[in-house]
Each structure stands twice: as C-alpha cells, then as structure tokens.
Amino acid sequence: MEEKKKIKKAIILDMDETLEHGITDRDNIMMVLRPNIDQLIAKLYEAKQESIDIILCTTANNLWVERFLNLKPEFKDIFDKIFNHDNENIWRNVNYLKSPVEYGIKTSKPVTAFGYDSILFIDDAPKVKREIKDIYLSEDSFMASELLEHLCNIFPEEADESYKDIDEELYEDEDDYEINILKKMLKTISEKKDCIIPSEQIDATYFSGFGFGSDMFLYEIESILGAIKDPNLNPEELKKIKQYIEHLNKEPGCQMMCSVIDTFIQKEFMPGLTLPDQMYRKEFEEYTGQKKKYYGELSALESKCPEGALEEYISTDKLYPYEGLITEKTKAFQIGITEITKKLIETPGTLDAISTVPIEIEKETGEKGTND
C-alpha cells in the first residue's frame, strides 16, 4: 500500500503593518508593536508544535528586523526562516514568479510556496492578495505567457524537455498550448528541483489581518502628547484620553490572526485558495467605528506639544501604543491630590467648609465615586 504523502505546512508572516508599525519624524523612527501580540506568539508556538513552519517574509532590511526581534525576542525562536530585503540573493531565482527587473523586494515581494504544500499568508498588502489569486488559481493567458518566459530563463533544461514532450500541432489555440507547456514545466521543476513552483496543487489561505498603524499618524501622537503634558488637563479630559488609548490597545487584529491560524492548523489539504477576511470584517469595522468616536471626543483638546517632547517620545520603540504616557500622568494627578489634601489638613477649618460639596473622583478601575 502506497504511503500517504506528508503535507508540509507553513505560515508566512509579513512584518510592517502586520506585526508592527513604524513612525518617523525627521531623523527619528519608532517601532510600535501591534496590541495583543503575546496572544499571537502563543498561537504560533502551538502551530510549531503541529510541525508547521513559521516564515517571516518582509521588504524590511536587516536592521529593522533586528529591532523587531530585540523588542520581542520570542520571535527569534518562532521564525524558522527569515526572508528580507538584505538576503534577497539567497532566494531570488527559485522564488520570483515575475521578472526580477520589474518585481524587486525593495518595493514589493514575490509570492511563492517556499517549498510547502499548504500555506497561510498573513499580509496586509492588497498587492500580495492579487498576486496569490493570479498565480495560484488563474490560468489567464497573459499571466501564463509571462510566467512561462521567466521560468524558461531560469530553468532552460526543463524548458527544452517540456517543449519536446508537447506537440504544438495538437493545439489550435496558442494560449492553450502555452498553458499546457507551463503545467508540464511546473511538474518537471517540482520533481527535479528542491522547491515547489506554485501550481493547482498548492493549498493557499490568505488573510490580510486588516493592517495596523494607519491610525497612529504623527500628528495624532503629537496632539495626545501635548494634551497629556498640559498642566491644565483635568481628570475628565484625562479619562477621555485613557479611554481612547485603552481602545487602541484592544485592537482585534492579533486575535483574528489566532482564529485563522487555529483553522489552518486543523485544515485538511485542499488545493485552491481560501480567503477568510469576510468572516472578520464586520467585527473590525465595529472596532474602527468606536475608535473614531473616541478620537472625535478628543478633538477639543488642542494643547500644544512642548518643544522636544515628540522627539523624546519616539526615540525609543514601544511594546504597545502610547506605552508609559497615561501611567506618568495618572501619577502626577495622584501626587497633586496628595499635596492638596496635605494643605487642607494643615489649614484649620478648611475641611469643614468643603465637606458638604460632592467631589467626583476617578478610580484606577475607571469607575467613579463621590465623597458623599
């Protein structure tokens, strides 16, 4: 009885706007990790226990990848392979499916099976989705012609063999002839080379993750920094800022990735393309709508950011959006309240004069109480 072929599975992760976001101001650049990334890390470890490889595929250079790994060292153990801008020469020929002249990893990246049978792509770039749909599913004659020409340049011997085996006279339509040559070449290359060129036998899943970072423009950080550092900011205004930042840190992208990975772990091999975005779109749009509502409430806070505050804040990478800001301001309020209370106690009769006036106090839990 023929032994069943073991299906090789991999998760191919993008980095920029999928796992982190970079914010630039003049000479400074800050990396911010996507909220709830620890949940994603735990899920990726689960996938590895199921013999699924985890691959980082990014257009970023080595230095930016190193910053990411230093910020979250767990990924050093998670990634089985890292393909980036600076090691393009290692994987260029066997993985490019378009002309290297028009398709360079400096601005975009190739879509490839990386030698696996079943692949989950998690990448926010719409271009990646289009390439997957074209290459993995389509037999469009223009794509077939372009791909065939490129493969002939890379694998001339296999090309000669494929053309020799297929009689052009049997095909009235030239497009049909090219498609069949292409299929023959894909099969020959897969058998002879240490790689798999995508064909109809590849099981691909693409999930966008909906992208992270588009909400964190520089002007927004500057605005919130100015408000938080404003000495006239009152507890009610601080609460609104806290509410907004807490909502940002509930961004559901990583939880959604975990759900998609769960399904991929259990998925049986099935050639074709799966696109799960639609299952999660409504939830993500609800999160985005609520975020806009919270941010709208902050529009009245027009405090000017102190000189040098922005440069100082983005000089260090952050584990989550606005890391450290609220804690510092809350402490400042606590110190201020302690000083006021101390003065009241030291001034005879002052407490009696104000004891009948309810004072709204914000607790750390976000609930409110009064002194009545």
Per DSSP bridges, beta strands 28-33 and 20-25 are: antiparallel
The reported pLDDT for the residue numbered 53 is: 96
The reported pLDDT for the residue numbered 262 is: 97
Question: What is the per-residue pLDDT across 118-160, written as a single tens digit (0 to 9) for each?
Answer: 889 999 876 666 666 555 444 443 445 666 676 677 677 777 8
Question: What is the per-residue pLDDT across 153-211, written as a single tens digit (0 to 9) for each?
Answer: 767 777 787 777 777 666 666 666 766 777 677 666 656 544 444 444 678 888 999 99
Tokens found for residue 116: 């696996």
pLDDT above 80 for 102: no
Find all residues with CB under 8 Å of 196, minimum gap 6, and list them. 113, 115, 116, 117, 190, 202
Question: What is the per-residue pLDDT across 252-277, written as a single tens digit (0 to 9) for each?
Answer: 999 999 999 999 999 988 776 778 88
The reported pLDDT for the residue numbered 11 is: 95
Q: 234 falls in which pLDDT band (50, 70, 90)?
A: confident
What is the per-residue DSSP string for 101-142? TT--TTT------TT-SEEEEE---HHHHHHHIIIII---HH
185, HSE (Cβ side, Cα atoms, 13 Å): 25
> Tokens 């004072």 — which residue?
359
- 9-155+193-212+251-281 CATH pick, 3.40.50, 2.40.50, 3.30.70, 3.30.1460: 3.40.50
Tokens found for residue 174: 């030239």
Q: 320 falls in which pLDDT band (50, 70, 90)?
A: very high
Amino acid at 54: I
Q: Give the separation between CA 287 and CA 293, rounded to whole angstroms.
A: 10
What is the per-residue DSSP string for 187-198? HHHHHHSSS---
Highest mean pLDDT among 51-60, 170-179, 346-355: 51-60
* Residue-range domain boundaries for the chain: 9-155+193-212+251-281, 326-372
